[in-house]
Amino acid sequence: MNHPPKIIAVMSGKGGVGTSTITALLGAGLTKAGLLTGLLDADPVGPVIPVMFGVNQRMEQRGGKLHPSLSRDGLQIVSAGLLPEKLIDFSVEGPDKVIQAIISHGQWAPLDVLLIDMPAGFNDIHRFLFNELPVVGVVMVTSQRELDRLAIRNVMSILARRAVPILGVVENGGETECPSCSSLIRLSDREDLLAEDCEVVGCLPWTKKLAEFAREGRIEDYNHPLVFQMAVTVWENANKKD
Ligand SMILES: Nc1ncnc2c1ncn2[C@@H]1O[C@H](COP(=O)(O)OP(=O)(O)O)[C@@H](O)[C@H]1O
Ligand SMILES: [Mg+2]
């Protein structure tokens, strides 16, 4: 077992590219690989992680501490979407203050790895988390829609200035399934992605099944072999750092 945990942030340039989905799949994959895994949902405005895992049980507040909710497979989840009522007044506190409160109250059980599902871009939430937590590296998520990938490059240059290593890039939805024969159709030029000068740790197709499983709270049932492979590669890369 690994203590303290390896802390891995999952980020993107723009919203809607699948950052939360990829973080959830990495969490599910690492749990299946036998690692004690935590997932911090750092998006207080759109906390979708509990929905994807079908978790309704709010975090328990004991002795002034917040104890993570558990997914079906035992992943520890901390999310603004699972706060005990009245703990934090969202109308008064800004989003970064909500995350600060969650971090200072959060009481994780032992972990090997902690994944952070970051909001898109780079704002006060990111600044706070990178200042407070010893993040070992970042997984960047991108999609075929970001043709010039301007936003991801901007975020990556901020990370480079802060000397935060990139553990790899995940392309989400560069391929999709043919509705009649289920074969994969390429939607973007993969050379574009490799030009980021980073290891590509996963290329996940856009599938109806994944969208359904995420919506229905069954993301842990998405057993695509690429998911397990991606999770193991991220874990290996995290272990090469410091
Ligand atoms: N590979 C995929 N296949 C199918 N649906 C996906 C895929 N990736 C993301 N989605 C869906 O796209 C939507 C946005 O994904 P999300 O992970 O919330 O994006 P982000 O966190 O980047 O804003 C969600 O409804 C999610 O289920
Ligand atoms: Mg998200």
Candidates 109, 129, 120; CA nearest to 8 is: 129
CB atoms near residue 70 (< 10 Å): 14
Q: Which domains does the chain have, with CATH numbers?
A: 6-240 (3.40.50.300)
Q: What is the pLDDT of residue 209?
A: 95
Helices 208-215 and 19-32: crossing angle in degrees, nearest 10, is: 80
- Distance from the CA of 194 to the center of ligand 2, in angstroms? 23
In tens, the pLDDT along 163-199 reads 999 999 999 988 888 888 888 888 876 666 555 578 9
Q: What is the mean pLDDT of residues 6-11?
A: 98
Return d(Cα 96, Cα 161) in angstroms, integer: 22
Distance between CA atoms of residues 241 and 2, nearest Å: 14
Cβ–ligand 1 contact at 84 (below 6 Å): no
Ligand closest to 41 (CA) is 2
pLDDT for res 92: 64
pTM: 0.94
Q: What is the DSSP secondary-structure string of 194-221?
A: HTTSS-EEEEEEE-HHHHHHHHTT-GGG
73-115 pLDDT per residue, tens: 999 999 999 988 766 666 667 788 889 888 988 999 999 999 9
What percent of the chain has a predicted confidence (pLDDT) above 90?
Answer: 65
DSSP state of 81: G
**Protein residue with its CA nearest to atom 12 in ligand 1:** 18
Ligand 1 midpoint to CA 72 (Å): 21
* Bridge partner list, 66: 61, 106
User: Is the predicted pLDDT of residue 21 greater than 80, yes or no?
Assistant: yes
Q: Which ligand has the nearest atom to the CA of 216?
A: 1
The CB of 144 under 6 Å from ligand 1? The reply is no
**Protein residue with its CA nearest to atom 8 in ligand 1:** 18
Is the beta carbon of 206 within 6 A of some atom in ligand 1?
yes
**How far apart (Å, rounded) are the C-alpha atoms in residues 36 and 231?**
13
d(CA 157, CA 45): 25
Of ligand 1's atoms, which has the minimum distance to the CA of residue 119?
A: 21
What mean pLDDT is reported for the chain?
A: 90
Amino acid at 100: Q
User: Of 118, 31, 103, 112, whose CA–CA distance to 68 is shortest?
Assistant: 103
